[in-house]
Each structure stands twice: as C-alpha cells, then as structure tokens.
Amino acid sequence: MNKKVVLITGASSGIGRAAAKKFIEQGYIVYGAARTELDLKYLTDYQNGHYILMDITDAEMRKNCIDQIIKNEEKIDILVNNAGYGAYGAVEEVPLEKAKAQFEVNIFGLSELTKLVIPHMRNENQGRIINISSIAGKIWTPLGGWYHASKFALEGLSDCLRNELREFGIDVVLIEPGAIETNWAETAGENLIENSGSGIYQKQAQRKAAKYEKMYGEGGMAAQPESVAEAIVKAAQSSRPKARYAVPAHAKLILFFRWLLSDRLYDFFTNKFF
C-alpha cells in the first residue's frame, strides 16, 4: 500500500523504457504509456509493471489513462512526461501543420495530461512532475527551429508550473538530456531530409544529417538512455530536487559554454560545428 505510483509517457523505447525499468527495480508501481502495445508488453514481465495505450494528443485517451490508474491505485505520485519527438527542417520549409503537430505532442498534450494529474496530487498534498526537456531548450542549432521552440516553451511552462504548485507540495523538475542513443535522432534526421533535403537549404540539411549520424552512431558522443533514467529516479527520490538536471557530462559542458559565450560567438561555433 505504501509503494509509490509512477506514470511514464513515451515508455515504449529509449529514455522512457529505461526509466520504467529503473523505477521497477527501485520498488515503484509503474504504468508505462505509449501508442504501440507490442512495444509496451515488456512491462508485463514485472510484477509492478503495467501498460496503457495512449496517444498523448488524444483527449479521451488521456482521460482514460488517468482514470484507470486512479481506479487501480487511488493515486499518482510521480508523472514523467517523456513523450516527444523532433520535427527538424528550416522554419521556412516546415509546413505549419507539422509545426503544430510538434507542439501538440511536446507541449499541449503534455500540459493537458499534467492538468488531469494535478488534482489527484493536490488531494495527497504531495507529488512530483518530471518533464523531459532537452539542452535544446537552452541552446539552438540551424534547421531545428520548431523543435527548439517546443523545448524552450517547455522550459518556461515548467518554471511557471513549479512556482504555481509549490504551495500544494507538488514539485516540478526538468531533465535536460544531451545526445542520447534513442530513436529520436533517426526521427529527427528523417524529418530534416523530408522537409529540407531537396530545397534551398539542401546543403545545410545534408551536413546536419551527416553530423547527426556521426554523433549518434558507433563511437559517437551519444550516451545510453540509462544515464537519463538514473537522473529521473534521482529527481524523483530527492527530498529537495533541483529545478533542472542536465545529463550526461557533455550536456553540462555544452550548457556551460552557452552561458559563457555571447550570442554572436555561440552562433559562430554552432555554425562551424554543423
């Protein structure tokens, strides 16, 4: 009866899957949510693992997800908002419907699900909301406008939410990963080439796609998703969690240099890198 209940979105792979396993190892009751049942069935291998099919952009599925957990457990102690993806391409060339879809997943679906969980946490006078952002919410790169915009928005939304919910005993934490070995990079690269791989930005798109292949390929700088999962669990268990956790080490280094450099110098080095 005293076990804490965790809901993790985007739990079918990558960071979400690693976090789900880490929480189960720590004795939590874990509900993983995603759109594909086959990719969630691993949770049934564990006594405290459960899965719920949910498209985070679907209002009825969001409500059914929360209702089912409350019916089963009577509470939700920790919400890990992990679902998200990167829609890359030049701002000029990404269709508006694709830009809106990016925000529907990364911001609006996340915020609507969070709004369903808050009253249950407030009734318990405790809770923790952990939003998986990115260092992309603090830096920028060419051809990433809409993804960066969604993560900048998540940073601001989380900061406001943290202060709004403080008096109710609810903590809001941001996790800011750097390059992590997940299918995010593959999706981002595909979107990049689809949106800008043959137009006026073709050379930029090809250079950035090649850089991503190097970063996320064998021997690249990308870290394992377990490193992020460890930070998520740490944020969940801390009695006084920090507002932000940047992981792994290269993420902290990149954010330090962003703080150190002027906008002009940052632009110069970013364009040289990509």
- 147 flagged as catalytic: yes
Supply the DSSP string of the chain, one letter for each residue: ----EEEEESTTSHHHHHHHHHHHHTT-EEEEEES-STTTGGGGGSTTEEEEE--TT-HHHHHHHHHHHHHHHS---EEEE-------S-TTTS-HHHHHHHHIIIIIIHHHHHHHHHHHHHHHT-EEEEEE--GGGT---TT-HHHHHHHHHHHHHHHHHHHHHGGGTEEEEEEEE-SBSSTHHHHHHHHHHHHHSSSTTHHHHHHHHHHHHHHHSTTSSPBPHHHHHHHHHHHHH-SS--SEEEESHHHHHHHHHHHHS-HHHHHHHHHHH-
Catalytic residue among 28, 147, 201, 245: 147
Catalytic sites, residue numbers: 147
